[in-house]
Amino acid sequence: MAAGALLAGAVAVTPLVYLLIRTAEAGWERVAEELLTTRVALLASRSLLLAAVVTTACLVLGAGTAYLVVRTDLPGRRFFGVLAALPLAVPTYVAGFCWIAAVDAFEGFWAAALLLTLCSYPYVYLPVAAALAGADPAQEEVARSLGHGPWRTLTGVTLRQIRPAVAAGGLLVALYVLSDFGAVSLTRFHTFTVAIFTAVDLGFDKTGALVLSTVLVVLTVALLAGEMATRRRGARYARVGSGARHQAPQRKLGAWRWPLAGALSGVAFLSLGVPALSLAQRMIEGVSRADPLGEVAVAAGNSLRVSALGAALSVLLALPVGLYAVRGSGWLPGLLERVSYAGHGLPGLVIGLSLVAFGVHVVYPLYQTTTMLALAYAVLFLPLAVGSVHAAAAQAPPGLEEVARSLGRTPWSVFRTVTIPLTAPGIATGAALVMLTCMKELAATLMLRPTGMDTLATELWTQTSAGAYAGAAPYAALLVALSAIPTWLLVRGNYRELS
Amino acid sequence: MSSLEVRELRKAFGQVTALDTVTLGVPEGELAAVLGPSGCGKTTLLRCLAGFTTVDSGRILVGGRDVTALPPEKRRIAVVPQEGALFPHLDVAANVAYGLPRADRRGGRAAEVLELVGLAGYGRRMPHELSGGQQQRVAVARALAPRPPLVLLDEPFSALDAGLRAELRRDIRAALRADGATAVLVTHDQGEAMSMADRIAVMRGGRIVQSGPPADVYGTPADAWVAGFVGEAVLLPAEVRAGQALTALGKVPCPAPDTAAATVLIRPEQVELAGEGVAATVEREDFFGHDALLLLRLDDGTALSARVLGGMPRRVPGERVALRVRGEARLLG
């Protein structure tokens, strides 16, 4: 188990370590030469400006929606609650395709900002809604009884209770924007990720791409550190003590009820309605066209195959890590679990680039094979798989197995009748989630796929880039359908929490 | 059914000695309670008996059979864990039948033990549909089903509320007796140990400091610590002469050899409020309804307590009372 966990940890850090080694090998002079250019400064300011604008917009939109849905008498608030989570089911490049196909000359900074805001405000909405629903209303009542007015209570107590959730959501959005490739490439807004992809795709300036990637990694790690810090501090805001919690009081919106409901409907129209209408229109065109279904079937088959491989590899690597973390003792299991999160939040593009270089220079037989692609998926989504395995393993505590053995069953019999039945459903769900996530991954797939092999994601991107919107529509529809499954599971859990 | 014999068991975790030469015997069909504060090693002892933890040295014999080196599944020692630990994916009948040989799983044994613990007809329920007390009953039934020579109970009632606990204790004691099982109960609750066990082994710091029937451990504790752990204790300095202890409470009969400077034990229920006797002042009254515990101070400054049945009339702090001692004082070593 320990050996397996060590192997998984090694796989998880390989791309990152290799990236740093290659960058260092280029020599500091070369790095400085690449780094200190107006182009890098321009790319950095573009990426950061986009991140700042999108994060601000998402904070306002996400936290505002959460407050309206959880704490007010907004008409149809449950319905708006579900609508606000659904954009998670639309990958940015799919939303990008829908908007470009619907609106002429949809490109540039504001197009990218609009797309990313509409796709990622659920990252703020979901944690804030959960925090508002979970916050103890007794704290607000105490504040009121101590003589604070409603406004002072909102700013002094409620906002402080949800501050960790707001901060975590905002940082997630910022991470998401920095690592996004789909939306910015389709709207032709040149950020770090687009520049890296272009450098690699055109086959020159590998060092430039490596240096840019390293800068992106540094930015990402800084944001991740920020997110972890807020999460750790957030724990202290939790409720102390036990006992049943009662429902928070609802604020009366009065005359604002319908205008606010109208505003949320407008947001929902932009984030879901426009893509849906555009997709439907292009689908009708696409179906009337000559038979594209054969190609779609081939791409879907490829997607399924590489994603299944990626999911299998992820879970295989995650099993020893998750089990070791739950069952092992000492500092090593926890450390290995944290190491397996190395790919968490890193742009798929950076992992892809590092593995391209790794494939070309170290393991050439694997370069441009599905194995390499599956490996990239495993690095990117190992955290997701480890989380599932960890949660599943916790379902079968060692105490249960001890009791089972004391009743006269052999270790193998106990494993078969207790451990497997209790952990298998969780692990299977985790594998399915990883597989769906692999299917949506665009950047890493574009960089690592074997020559001539197209998946749903790459076909959609290629056809949209070429302006073949009708041809792209079936791929977009399939991807939305696939992404809807995990989102549905998430929304259902969230919905239960709210009601 | 068979007896348990534990011989000079030792177990250390790194620098910490958890079990220090533990020796314990439980005759066939009896229930022994291992009583001690948390961290005294009683749970380690139970895990060693069950085979979940290996011992450093010593031997464990069940019915004369040495099981020290056997894995848990070969020992035929059943365990009732603290929180029941029922298998959440199996219904009650399947939980109870889990330890039975394949051929017997469809037979009547599962229903029989369920009836024994008062849960006849609950076989089709799932564990999460049961209350905490019912889950604990199922855990006992599951342990008894394969007729193990020895059953270990690890603080099985600690997660339950007080009213439920008393009833469950009686029922489970009866079920164990009906099945003739030898049992070891690990607990930190002296009331639980006293009311359920045929014998008590008091444990401290990895050692068994005293063992014997509950009445002996309560009546003649080995030392002051045991006296205080198994009940309320009044410890008084005394001089013993000619079967009489001379204490601040006057002369109290004490069957012990003459000693110039000793400590004697009196239980609070032996201290009576009388018309005349040693004068004392009430410092506090803890009123429990059926009885009350009075904290008193003698005029020479000695503090002690008295248990008064019925608890009426209520005493107020500062009230002057006269005290007399019933029965004998015990000389502590």
Q: What is the pLDDT of residues A392-433, one digit of tens each?
A: 888 788 889 999 999 999 989 998 899 888 888 888 888 888
| CB contacts, 8 Å: A410 with chain B | 73
Residue A30's pLDDT band (cuts 50, 70, 90): confident
Residue A235's pLDDT band (cuts 50, 70, 90): very low
Residue B156 touches chain A, beta carbons under 8 Å: no
Task: Say if the Cβ atoms of B78 and A411 lie within 8 Å.
Answer: no
The 10 Å CB-count burial string (b at 16+, else e) for B172-200 is bbebbeebebbbbbbbbbbebbbebbbbb
Is residue A491 over pLDDT 80? no
Task: Say if the Cβ atoms of A400 and B87 lie within 8 Å.
Answer: yes
Question: Any idea which residue has 């959501």 for tokens?
Answer: A169
| CB contacts, 8 Å: A417 with chain B | 98
Task: Say if the Cβ atoms of B85 and A403 lie within 8 Å.
Answer: yes
Among A136-140, A218-222, B109-113, which range has the highest average pLDDT?
B109-113
Task: Say if the Cβ atoms of A418 and B72 lie within 8 Å.
Answer: no
Nearest partner of A173 among A72, A88, A239, A254, judged by Cα: A88
Determine, yes or no, domain membership for A478: yes
Residue B71 touches chain A, beta carbons under 8 Å: yes
ipTM: 0.81
User: Which chain A residue has the Cα nearest residue B78?
Assistant: A406
Determine, yes or no, domain membership for A183: yes
Query: Tokens representing B184?
Result: 């070891």
| CB contacts, 8 Å: B138 with chain A | none
Residue B99 touches chain A, beta carbons under 8 Å: yes
Beta bridge partners of B285: B294
What does the angle CA A368 – CA A373 – CA A378 come to, to the nearest 5 degrees? 155
Nearest partner of B282 among B242, B250, B314, judged by Cα: B314
Min CA distance, A137 vs chain B (Å)? 29
Determine, yes or no, domain membership for A90: yes
Is residue A446 over pLDDT 70? yes
Region at A345 (left for phi over 0; alpha for psi -120 to 50; beta for the rest):
left
The string of DSSP letters for A355-377 reads HHHHHHHT-GGGTTSHHHHHHHH
Mean pLDDT of A297-326: 89
Global pTM exceeds 0.95: no
Determine, yes or no, domain membership for A268: no
Q: Is the dihedral of CA A365, A371, A377, A382 positive or negative?
A: negative
Percent of chain A with pLDDT over 70: 92
Number of CB pairs, chain A paired with chain B, less than 8 A apart: 53
Min CA distance, B319 vs chain A (Å)? 40
Residue A335 belongs to domain with CATH number? 1.10.3720.10
Sheet containing B330-332: which strands, arranged edge to edge? B250-253, B244-247, B234-241, B259-266, B330-332
Task: Say if the Cβ atoms of B79 and A418 lie within 8 Å.
Answer: no
pLDDT tens-place values along chain B, 333 residues long: 579 999 999 999 988 899 999 999 999 999 999 999 988 999 999 999 999 999 999 999 999 899 999 999 999 999 998 888 899 889 999 999 998 888 777 778 889 899 888 898 899 999 988 988 899 999 999 999 998 999 999 988 877 777 778 888 888 888 888 888 899 999 998 888 998 899 999 999 999 999 999 999 998 899 999 999 998 889 999 898 888 889 888 888 988 888 888 889 999 999 988 878 888 999 998 888 888 889 999 988 889 999 988 766 788 898 899 998 988 888 887
Task: Say if the Cβ atoms of B73 and A421 lie within 8 Å.
Answer: no
Residue A248's pLDDT band (cuts 50, 70, 90): low
Residue B55 touches chain A, beta carbons under 8 Å: no
Task: Compute the mean pLDDT over every residue in chain A, rounded to the nearest whole number.
Answer: 83
Residue B276 touches chain A, beta carbons under 8 Å: no
Q: Give me the residue from A399, A408, A409 closest to B85, CB to CB.
A: A399
Q: Give me the residue from B73, B81, B87 closest to A408, CB to CB.
A: B73
Mutate to test the interface with B, among A403, A412, A417, A422 (most CBs of B within 10 A): A403
User: Which chain A residue has the Cα nearest residue B83?
Assistant: A399
| CB contacts, 8 Å: A411 with chain B | 71, 73
Domain that holds residue A340: 2-231+273-494
User: Which chain A residue has the Cα nearest residue B142?
Assistant: A407
Min CA distance, B84 vs chain A (Å)? 9
| 3-class secondary-structure state, position A194 | helix
Determine, yes or no, domain membership for A256: no
Residue B14 touches chain A, beta carbons under 8 Å: no
Min CA distance, A393 vs chain B (Å)? 14
Is residue A483 over pLDDT 60? yes
Residue A357's pLDDT band (cuts 50, 70, 90): confident
Is residue A96 over pLDDT 80? yes
Mutate to test the interface with A, among B98, B100, B136, B147 (most CBs of A within 10 A): B98
Task: Say if the Cβ atoms of B89 and A422 lie within 8 Å.
Answer: yes
The predicted structure's pLDDT at residue A496: 53
Task: Say if the Cβ atoms of B99 and A409 lie within 8 Å.
Answer: yes
Residues whose CB is less than 8 angstroms from the CB of residue B172 and which lie 6 or more positions away in sequence, other chains included:
B117, B137, B140, B153, B156, B196
Task: Say if the Cβ atoms of B73 and A409 lie within 8 Å.
Answer: yes
- The distance in angstroms from the start CA to the end CA of chain B is 38
| CB contacts, 8 Å: B75 with chain A | 406
What does the angle CA B41 – CA B46 – CA B48 come to, to the nearest 5 degrees? 90
Is residue A233 over pLDDT 80? no
A327: exposed, middle or buried (C-beta count within 10 Å: 0-12, 13-18, 19+)?
middle
Determine, yes or no, domain membership for A445: yes
Q: Where are the alpha helices (DSSP H) in chain B?
A: 42-50, 72-75, 92-97, 109-116, 132-144, 162-179, 190-196, 214-219, 224-229
Min CA distance, B52 vs chain A (Å)? 7
Task: Say if the Cβ atoms of A408 and B79 lie within 8 Å.
Answer: no
Furthest-apart CA atoms within chain B: distance in Å:
74
The predicted structure's pLDDT at residue A179: 87
Determine, yes or no, domain membership for A255: no
| CB contacts, 8 Å: A407 with chain B | 73, 78, 98-99, 142-143, 146
Q: Tell me the C-alpha to C-alpha distance, in Å, between residue B239 and each of A270, A415, B221, B246, B303.
A: 94, 65, 19, 5, 18
Nearest partner of B157 among B82, B46, B45, judged by Cα: B82
* Count of the separate structural domains present in chain A: 1
Query: Tokens representing B94?
Result: 């399947």
Determine, yes or no, domain membership for A239: no
The string of DSSP letters for B185-204 reads EEES-HHHHHHH-SEEEEEE
Phi, psi of A272 (to 5 degrees): -120, -40
The predicted structure's pLDDT at residue B198: 93
Residue A251 DSSP symbol: B
Q: Give me the residue from B76, B81, B85 closest to A408, CB to CB.
A: B76
Task: Check residues A499 and B333 and name the one with the higher pLDDT.
Answer: B333
The predicted structure's pLDDT at residue A240: 45
Task: Say if the Cβ atoms of A409 and B79 lie within 8 Å.
Answer: no
Q: Give me the residue from A395, A405, A422 closest to B73, CB to CB.
A: A405
Task: Say if the Cβ atoms of A407 and B99 lie within 8 Å.
Answer: yes
Task: Say if the Cβ atoms of B87 and A418 lie within 8 Å.
Answer: yes
User: How many CB atoms neighbour CB A145 within 10 A?
Assistant: 8
Sheet containing B65-66: which strands, arranged edge to edge? B16-26, B4-13, B57-62, B65-66
User: Which chain A residue has the Cα nearest residue B147?
Assistant: A407
